[in-house]
Amino acid sequence: MKPTRKQGVRPTLRSVLGRGHLSVALLAVGLAGISLTLLGVLALRVYANHNLHLIARSINYTVEAAVVFDDSAATNESLALIASHEEVAEAKVFNNEGELLAHWQRGDTGMLGKLEVQVATALLDEPVNLPIMHQQQKVGHTELVGQGRSLLLFLLSGLAGILFCTILSALAAQYLSRRLLSNITRPLRGLASVAHAARRERSFDRRVPEAPIAELNELGNDFNALLDELEVWHSHLQNENQTLAHQASHDSLTGLPNRAFFEGRLNRSVRNAERQQDHLALLFLDSDHFKQINDTLGHAVGDEVLISVADRVRAQLREHDLVARLGGDEFAVLLTPLQSRKDAEHIAEKIVASMKLPVQLDSGRSIATSLSVGIAYYPDDGADPASLLNAADAAMYEAKRKRRGHWQVAQTERSASEIKNRS
C-alpha cells in the first residue's frame, strides 16, 4: 500500500537511529559544556571578588597618607594610577566623614564595555567596600566596582568551546553512527532483498548472509530455515502441478498426449502453416482386430497391445513430430513441417512395417496385430483442423476396406462421401 499524504513518507531505520544518536551526542555535549561553563563562571566569580578585595587593599595602602591629610588631588592621582591598570570599572575614595575625596571611572569603550558592565553587575557581588586604616583607626573607605572583562571573555570562550565541541561531536556521532548502522542496516537490507525476491519472483533458493550482530544473525538463520521449508513446499507444489498438467493432457495408459492436447497442437500448427505458407501431414491410425483381442483375451492384454503399439509408433517419428492417442485403439500423428509428401508416406510405411513383428505379452504369449493408416495433407485435403482430421479418418477406413495393415492417402471427394455415408 502506498503512503497517503496524511501518513507521509515513512522514515528509514538509518535516519531514525542516526537522528537518535546525533540527538544524544548533542545533548550530552551541550549539558557537559553548560555545566562546565557554569562551574567556571562560579569559580571565576570567586576569583574576581577576591581580586577586587586585593586591589582595594592596595589602593588603601597607597592613598592612606593622602586621606589622612585630606589631599584630594594626591588621592585622585594615586587612585587613577592603580585603577587604570586593573579590572576596575569605577573606584571611589571617601574620608571618615563620608565625603568623596577621589573618583575614577573607566572611559566608555563602546558595546564591549557596556557588555562587560552588564556581566559584572549580573555575576559579581555588590561593590567592594573596604575601610582605610591609619594607626588602627578608620580614616576613610574605598569603594570598587569590577569591570567584568575576564568573566565576559570566559563566557565567550566557553560558548565558542561548546559550539566547537557540538560541531565536532555531531561529525563524530555521524561518522560513528554510520559505522554502527551499517552493521544493522546491511543485514536488514539483505533480508529485505531476499524476502522481496521470494515474494515477487518466487526465488526461494536465495539465502540471507551471515550478520555480525548475534540477534540479526539469529533472525537471518530463522528466515533461511523458513526459506528452506518454502523451497521444499514450492518444489513439491510445482511437481504436483506438472504432474496434474501432464495427466490432464496425456493418456494415462500409453503416456502419449490425449485428444485435447493433440487438437490444440493441430490448431496451432494449421494457423502457423497458413501464415507461413507451409505444409503438414496428418496420419490417422487404427489398430486392426483390436476389439476381438480385447473381447477374447481381456482388457489387460488389450492394454499391453496398446502400450506396445504406442511405443512402436513413437519410435518411427522424427524428433519434432507428435503422436497422440485419440481414444480406444485410435491414434493420430502430426508431421510438421513437411517438405514433401514422400516424407509422410515413408513414415507411414515405417509405422506399418513396425507392426509386422508380433506383440510380446508379459505372460510370454505373442499376438499378431497391425495398423491401418490414413494420410491427409494440409492444405490439399483440408483447410482447417476438423476437415483435415476427417479426411485422414476417411483415408484410414479406405485402407481398412482395401487391405488391413496398409496406408492410404486421402482423396478429398471420396473422403467427403465416406464421412457422409458413415454419418
Instruction: Dihedral sign for Cα 78, 79, 80, 83, please.
Output: positive
Q: Sort 148 into a burial class: Cβ within 10 Å, 0-12 / 13-18 / 19+.
A: buried
CA neighbor of 312 nearest in space, from 354, 360, 257:
354
Q: Are 173 and 25 in contact (CB under 8 A)?
A: yes
Report d(CA 50, CA 46) in Å as an integer.
6
Report d(CA 65, CA 101) in Å as an integer.
13
Q: Are 216 and 224 in contact (CB under 8 A)?
A: no
Q: Which three cell numbers stand for residue 398?
A: 479406405
Residues 251, 286, 288, 329: which is the catalytic one? 329
Q: Three-class SS of residue 333?
A: strand
Q: What are 100's strand-pairing partners? A: 94
The one-letter amino acid code at 127 reads: P
Q: Three-class SS of residue 2?
A: coil
Is 329 designated active site? yes
CA neighbor of 106 nearest in space, from 135, 145, 73:
145
Q: What are 231's strand-pairing partners? A: none
* H or E element, residue 375: strand 371-378
Q: Three-class SS of residue 106?
A: coil
Contacts for 109 with CB less than 8 Å, ≥ 6 apart: 116
Residues designated catalytic: 329
